[in-house]
Amino acid sequence: MRRVDIYLETSTRYLGKKERYCGYVMSTELKNGNPYTVEDFWPSSGTWNHTMLETLNRALSHLAGGLEIHIHSQNDYIMDMAENNLEEWKAAGFKTGKGMPIKDADLWEEYAGRTGGHLIIYERGLHEYSNWMIGTMARKMVENPVDKSDHTPRNPHKY
């Protein structure tokens, strides 16, 4: 099973709704043994949890089935919910016990669909790309304040 690491960050860890930059770095080893890394950064708006889940889904959208995926994030809420509640939510149709949709139900349902067929390993806390990613997003905020402009990802890819 091939390993892919997904490293997630946002420009701010403020929990409330806020304009922010989001980004991921994905790395793997190619069949020839060479490392391959790709990153993407873009402006977004929403709570930290919402934008982090959006970022994770965006990274996962580039992956085919049957991988060992290591997800690296400082967002304990997203990591805990994905690891401990996802199966229960899936079985309940992404609804609470009272029949109401869970928060960000559409994003959680997308996450469940994108992770099917993969082995997922959650790695919490700072990671090897944290400082570089936060610095990159800080420069982007200075150069181009969050403005919802369309963008093309750097190194568009499919694993």
pLDDT single digits (tens) 23-40: 999 999 999 999 999 999
Q: Is 158 contained in some domain?
A: no
| Mean pLDDT confidence for 41-45 | 93
Provide the residue range defining the domain that includes 111: 3-143
The pLDDT of residue 86 is above 70: yes
The total of structural domains in the chain comes to 1
Q: Is 114 contained in some domain?
A: yes
What CATH number should be reported for the domain holding residue 118?
Answer: 3.30.420.10
Calpha distance 137→116 (Å, rounded): 30
Position 141 confidence tier, pLDDT thresholds 50, 70, 90: confident
Calculate the alpha carbon distances from 38 to 28, 41, 80, 89 in Å: 9, 11, 26, 31
The pLDDT of residue 6 is above 60: yes
CB 20 within 8 A of CB 7: no
Query: pLDDT tens, 142-154?
Result: 887 664 444 444 4
Q: Is 149 contained in some domain?
A: no
Percent of the chain with pLDDT over 90: 80
Q: Is 152 contained in some domain?
A: no
Check residues 143 and 135 and name the one with the higher pLDDT: 135
Per the listing, tokens 């709704």 go with 17
Q: Is 134 contained in some domain?
A: yes
Is the four-CA dihedral 149, 139, 158, 107 of positive or negative sign? Answer: negative
| Closest of 92, 59, 62 to residue 78, by C-alpha | 59
Q: What is the pLDDT of residue 65?
A: 80
- Helix, strand, coil shares, percent, the chain, to 5: 35, 30, 40
